[in-house]
A and B are shown apart, each in its own frame.
Chain A
Amino acid sequence: MLQCPLESNTAPKPLNWPESMPSNPIISVKNLNKRYAGGFQALKSVDLDIHEGEIFALLGPNGAGKTTLISIICGIANPSDGTVIADGHDILKDYRSARSKIGLVPQELTTDAFESVWATVTFSRGLFGKPPNPDYIEKILKDLSLWDKRDNKIMSLSGGMKRRLMIAKALSHEPKILFLDEPTAGVDVELRKDMWEMVRGLRENGVTIILTTHYIEEAEDMADRIGVIRQGELILVEEKNELMSQLGQKQLNIQLQVPLDTLPKSLEDESLSLEQEGNTLVYRYNSQTESSGIATLLRRLDEHGIEFKDLHSRESSLEDIFIELVKSST
């Protein structure tokens, strides 16, 4: 939960962020449907454009279809219907060009066991058709704090190290588009921070990133845009800041000097409520309106002789919004 004293937390946009979006999306998904062999429909007419250079967070509860969508774009599963264009190439007809632009870190930790770290990353680069480049591989291993482990067998790595190894493999062929399917599951706090730092660095170098995570605050920190998927349907795609200000609410918590049983009649209002056994007066207001009404409220409290010892404001987090969204569209 974000707590900040009476100020909004709009993240600064990166320097190279164009004000108007480029008209040519780097990934364009049209009317994508997926029925699995058993007849289960995992994706229902999904339309989605990913802009070049953005960080796009795909959010949704378990089983919503995030991994299915990613698998289709990356060539692991076949679409039942619909088209996907990646960097101008149809992923089926022109799979070679499309796939060579894409790197994937899958959700499951699937690695070989007996190969060395170095060998497996080198393998990945070759598999994607790139000539050997030991210097580059050294760089990614160092960036991902795996350099010390380069000669170790994969099975001797911890879970978090394996996750980073999978990122190294995905980056080994210098992709323009990177899919991260729950990259931070099982990674400790510090390394997670490093990982996001690296993701930001990649974005600065022009890599487009599509990620999924169940840690909504990570998406709130990282993403430029958010897509929410629920039961195979993409129910919302929105710029994060827009989303936060449109659907987010602010509230001001006023810690009272003396607890109140009821509010004075003249203060009764649907935006005001007493909480925590009358110790806190909560004022809810829309973050979009011009004047918050806080000044007026404080003046009127003073008129009523209601004293307070502390106040702080709080914005609804992306998590609050997300939970609301997923619930309300049931």
Chain B
Amino acid sequence: MNFYAIRAIYLFEMARTWRTLSQSIAAPVMSTALYFVVFGSAIGSRMGDIGGVSYGAFIIPGLVMLSLLSQSISNASFGIYMPKFSGTIYEVLSAPVSYLEVVIGYVGAATTKSLLLGLLTLLTATFFVDFHVEHPVWMIGFLLLTSITFSLFGFIIGIWADDFQKLQVIPLMVVTPLTFLGGTFYAIDMLPPIWQKITLFNPVVYLISGFRWSFYGVADVSVALSLGMIGLFLALCLGAVWWIFKTGYKLRN
């Protein structure tokens, strides 16, 4: 293992985070805070409880997931897309590093940033809404697993994209709709029966359900299924990354 290389990439990426603090951390935390204000405090006060949880508290796990997903993806995809775009990737390609080390460096940094963001968002939520966390260890576990998985997914998008538009299209056209329809704002049994079935094809449902369970002990689907789905997606992403590096896809011509 080339630990110095992993550390170099990790620190380089983290330096980028600190440099762009307002954009990478403050902005997402702030926009999530706006959701808390509007849906949690303002509208939430007129909504009934869901499964014994106040509406304001009910939406918190989903909102955290929402920003975690989009930030993990955009962070990791940008992190690898930029060197490709500017050409500085030559250095990584010519360095004595294995694919695994490159991924650990880039995805590790993106994950760290997402975790930080998730925790900060939760901290912010405490100012607006009363909520508690029943299974804190599981909560951190879900946070971590989701950050890793979607940072990997972002990494793949960053490698696949050869222009800025492609970089944006998946997060905007696929991930955002899926997260909004993933049960952030409602419990699945509130949907018409047919949509209750269809929605099970949305992977984000499992993420949010599991994450919400770690807060309030109630879930739309079983926790084991949630974990299984995250695990499956993680495995898919790992497989894709392995294939990308094995073939040099879009990296080495």
Contacts and interface: CB of A to CB of B under 8 A. Distances in A.
Interface of A: 36-37, 74-78, 95-100, 102, 104, 106, 108, 110-115, 119, 122-131, 169
B8 interface: yes
A115 B15 contact: yes
Contacts of B93: 74-76
A261 to B, nearest CB: 61
Interface string B203-216: 00000000000000
B31 interface: no
B169 interface: no
A102 B90 CA distance: 13
Interface string B166-200: 00000000000000000000000000000000000
Contacts of B88: 110-112
Q: By CB atoms of chain B within 10 A, which of A95, A99, A111, A126 has the most?
A: A126
B251 to A, nearest CB: 9
A126 B10 CA distance: 11
A110 B87 contact: yes
Interface stretch (B47-55, B94-102, B235-243): B94-102
Interface in B70-113: 86-88, 90-98
B96 A169 contact: no
B15 A99 contact: no
Contacts of B141: none
Contact of B96 (A36, A77, A97, A125): A97
Given A78-B253, A100-B96, A110 B4 contact: no
Contacts of A75: 93-94, 252
B252 A76 contact: yes
A95 B99 CA distance: 12
B12 interface: yes
A128 B253 CA distance: 22
Given A111-B86, A128-B4, A128-B95, 7 more contacts: A36-B253, A74-B94, A77-B252, A78-B248, A119-B15, A124-B91, A127-B4
Nearest to B98: A96
Q: Output the residue of A74, A108, A125, A129 with the most chain B CB within 10 A.
A: A129
Contact of B95 (A110, A113, A122, A127): A127
Contact of B253 (A37, A74, A104): A37
B91 A169 contact: yes
Nearest to A36: B253
Nearest to A94: B96
B7 interface: yes
B222 interface: no
Contact of A106 (B7, B90, B98, B248): B90
Contacts of A115: 12, 15
A111 B83 CA distance: 9
Nearest to B105: A127
B190 to A, nearest CB: 47
B227 interface: no
Contacts of A36: 253
B86 A129 contact: no
B140 interface: no
Nearest to B7: A126
Contacts of B11: 123, 126
Contacts of A112: 86, 88
Contacts of B91: 124, 127, 169
Interface string B9-33: 1011001100100000000000000
Contacts of B96: 95-100, 128-129
Contacts of B45: none
Contacts of B15: 115, 119
Contacts of A104: 90, 94
B5 interface: yes
B126 interface: no
Interface centre among A36, A76, A108 (most CB of B within 10 A): A76
Contacts of B97: 127, 129
B57 to A, nearest CB: 40
A66 B2 CA distance: 30
A3 B88 CA distance: 42
Contacts of B90: 76, 104, 106, 110
A111 B95 CA distance: 16
Nearest to B3: A129
B94 A110 contact: no
Contacts of A110: 86-88, 90
